[in-house]
Amino acid sequence: MHLIDRPEESSRLDIDEVAVEELARNIAARGLMHPITLNKQGERYEIIAGDRRFLAHLKLGKTKIMAKAMEVDNKEVLLLRGTENLHRANLSPLEEGRTYKDLIEKAGMTIEEITKETGRSAGIIKRRLDVVKMPETFQRALHKRLISLSVAEELWNCPNEAHREYLLEMACEHGVTKEVARMWVADYKRSTRSTPDAGEGGGLDNSVYENDPIYRPCDLCKAAVEISKAKELRICPGCFKHLLEIIKGE
């Protein structure tokens, strides 16, 4: 274990400590089912695949780990590591986009080559690459799964940065559908067509929004409803669930 180095760079943004603990308990009970993959670099080895399994072994205080060692170039390391990441069940759109970005910028691969190697369609790859181009606030919201990718794409179409951030905050707080997000952006664009001073860098004219409705989805039927007309009831999650069951007749 002391001869092994973790990857210096990774498209994975965080490590789920709870998942590592669970993996450690599983390994303690059943042993390691699949060896980690290493790249030999002189007298040491860098992890290509199996970082969480390595961390689990560290938690267990083990000094040895079952591993498959090879000697490959940087491009092959990135491809093998990226392929493993893409098979993770909890991979966020941002992490997936960073994986493709690394393969393009660091491994010199084209989208067509990535498609062939990973089995992902060119359309999916391009959408995930767009996530890396989004503002950091959008990236964080997507990584934390506060909004869906389709909602982020709709909100990103808002031409005014300040209003775009406002809409993102509303979407994260209330939870919206792609259709509602599209409606928000369309309402903003429509309201600014007759207001020449409202642009990307300029401040927003509050008078534009005095009567401009903002929508959110109904928690029951999911239809769009103006926030000013929405009825809210502050109750605990258990009572809320019970209330929904009564309303739905379950």
Q: Report the alpha-carbon distance of residue 24 to residue 140 in Å, rounded.
A: 29
Tokens of 50: 């199996």
Whole-number pLDDT of residue 198 = 46
Residues 148, 154, 155, 161, CA torsion sign = positive
Whole-number pLDDT of residue 210 = 44
Q: Average pLDDT, whole number, for the chain?
A: 84
Domain coordinates in residue numbering, the chain: 1-71, 74-133, 147-194+205-247
Instruction: State mean pLDDT over 56-61.
Output: 95
Whole-number pLDDT of residue 194 = 59
What kind of architecture, by CATH, is found in domain 1-71? Answer: Alpha-Beta Complex (3.90)
Q: Are 111 and 83 in contact (CB under 8 A)?
A: no
Tokens of 83: 């392929």
Q: Report the alpha-carbon distance of residue 133 to residue 226 in Å, rounded.
A: 31
Which pLDDT tens digit goes with each residue over 147-186?
A: 999 999 999 999 999 999 999 999 999 888 999 999 999 9
Whole-number pLDDT of residue 203 = 41
pLDDT at 140 over 80: yes
Rounded to 10 degrees, the C-alpha dihedral 11/99/107/110 comes to: -170
Under DSSP, is residue 113 helix (H, G, I), strand (E, B) or coil? helix
Question: 194 or 23: which carries more pLDDT confidence?
Answer: 23
CATH number of 74-133: 1.10.10.2830
pLDDT at 212 over 60: no
pTM reported for the whole predicted model: 0.67
Instruction: State mean pLDDT over 105-116.
Output: 91
Residue identified by tokens 């990441």 is: 85
Cα R_g (the chain), whole angstroms: 24
Q: Which H or E run includes 118?
A: helix 111-118
Which pLDDT tens digit goes with each residue over 18-43?
A: 889 999 999 999 999 999 999 999 99
Side chain identity at 132, as an amino acid letter? V
